[in-house]
Structure 1
Amino acid sequence: MQELPAKVGRTRPVQVHFDDLDPLGMVHNSRYALFVERAITAFWQEEGWSMDPDRSRYRDTHLVVREFLIRYEAPIQGTAGVDVWFRISRLGRTSVVYEFQVRSEEGRRVHAHGHRVQIRVDPEALTPLAFSDELRETARGLMEDPAR
């Protein structure tokens, strides 16, 4: 089982709803990716990112997921809250790798863990495009022990 990491990265609460459950009353496997997406997106929105280029603090508004790997360790039973911990393990010129864990609210149990690779693309050519300096500066905060 995956160990809990040091105080690097961020943790965001995510609510499990009835429609996230499968017929056995466990969170359906497809929902874990959604929980991770919601947590990471919430972080970036709090930092001023928006899908709308006119509203975004960053020029980096066209991002695509290249890879998403999840390893399931223990089922989540019923509707409750879970925490999603994430950090950036690699920040390249055009891509970023997030590591994540879906944990119990108390943080004592890791239900799933994995990584997600995201690429910035040119909106017209759909080819890789370098991240802006502004986004890179904010992203570095997910690579080290946060002061906040």
Structure 2
Amino acid sequence: MYAYWETVPTRWKDNDVYGHVNNAVHYSMMDTVVNTWLIRSAGLDIHDGDTIGLCVESHCVYRASVSFPEPVRVGLRIGHLGRSSVRYELGLFRADGETVVAEGHFVHVFVDRETRRPTGIPGPLREAMEKLVVAG
């Protein structure tokens, strides 16, 4: 179902007054996993590259709560890969790997760093993304 996995630790400050990880933290975890993968596995140069990804859409559905100090397993796949855009789909799971905490997606449009105009996803980055694409 998901082609790439990372474990993200929760932090003491992530819990809200109700004793569970606050909803905004889920987005941060998803964003962290996407960008970690882009930098480490796909070779995106966030500091000097000609092409950068801008988030144009994000969404999250909450399924279960999680609390510090429990780590969260985050699965990543690509549901759609276009010429200049990509839709990352993510699942956040309890440490058991079975209980879904949240499901969400991020859409990046890749743009020229200087002009901020959409540009095609560069070859090496696209090749790495193709490995995460799921059918249907």
| TM-score for the superposition, normalised by structure 1 | 0.83
**Which 10-residue stretch deviates more, 28-37 or 76-85?**
76-85
- Which segments of 5 or more consecutive residues in structure 2 lack a partner in the other structure? none
What residue in structure 1 maps to residue 121 of structure 2?
Answer: 131
Q: For the Cα contact (< 8 Å) 2:39–2:46, is it kept in 1?
A: no
Matched letter for residue 44 of structure 1: L
Matched letter for residue 94 of structure 1: S
Q: For the Cα contact (< 8 Å) 2:9–2:72, is it kept in 1?
A: yes
Q: CA deviation at 1:10?
A: 0.8
Matched letter for residue 107 of structure 1: G
Matched letter for residue 67 of structure 1: E
Q: CA deviation at 1:77?
A: 2.3
Q: For the Cα contact (< 8 Å) 2:34–2:88, is it kept in 1?
A: no
Q: For the Cα contact (< 8 Å) 2:70–2:94, is it kept in 1?
A: no
Q: CA deviation at 1:40?
A: 1.6
Quote the Cα distance in structure 2 between the aligned partners of 1:124 and 1:39: 26
Quote the Cα distance in structure 1 between the aligned partners of 2:119 and 2:111: 5
Q: For the Cα contact (< 8 Å) 2:10–2:67, is it kept in 1?
A: no
Matched letter for residue 27 of structure 1: V
Q: Deviations over 1:114-138 (max 9, x none)?
A: 2110011122222211111111111
Quote the Cα distance in structure 1 between the aligned partners of 2:31 and 2:86: 14
Quote the Cα distance in structure 1 between the aligned partners of 2:114 and 2:45: 18
Matched letter for residue 33 of structure 1: Y
Quote the Cα distance in structure 2 between the aligned partners of 1:52 and 1:126: 15
Among residues 24, 32, 35, which one is paired with 2:18 in the alignment?
A: 24
RMSD, aligned CA? 1.7
Quote the Cα distance in structure 2 between the aligned partners of 1:108 and 1:134: 33
Among residues 116, 124, 136, which one is paired with 2:106 in the alignment?
A: 116
Q: CA deviation at 1:25?
A: 1.5
Quote the Cα distance in structure 2 between the aligned partners of 1:86 and 1:79: 22
Q: CA deviation at 1:50?
A: 2.8
Q: Deviations over 1:42-96 (max 9, x none)?
A: 222222323122xx6xx53x21000000000111123221111010011100100
Instruction: Quote the sequence identity (%).
Output: 26
Q: For the Cα contact (< 8 Å) 2:87–2:108, is it kept in 1?
A: yes
Quote the Cα distance in structure 1 between the aligned partners of 2:112 and 2:132: 24
What residue in structure 2 maps to residue 90 of structure 1?
Answer: 80
Quote the Cα distance in structure 2 between the aligned partners of 1:98 and 1:23: 31
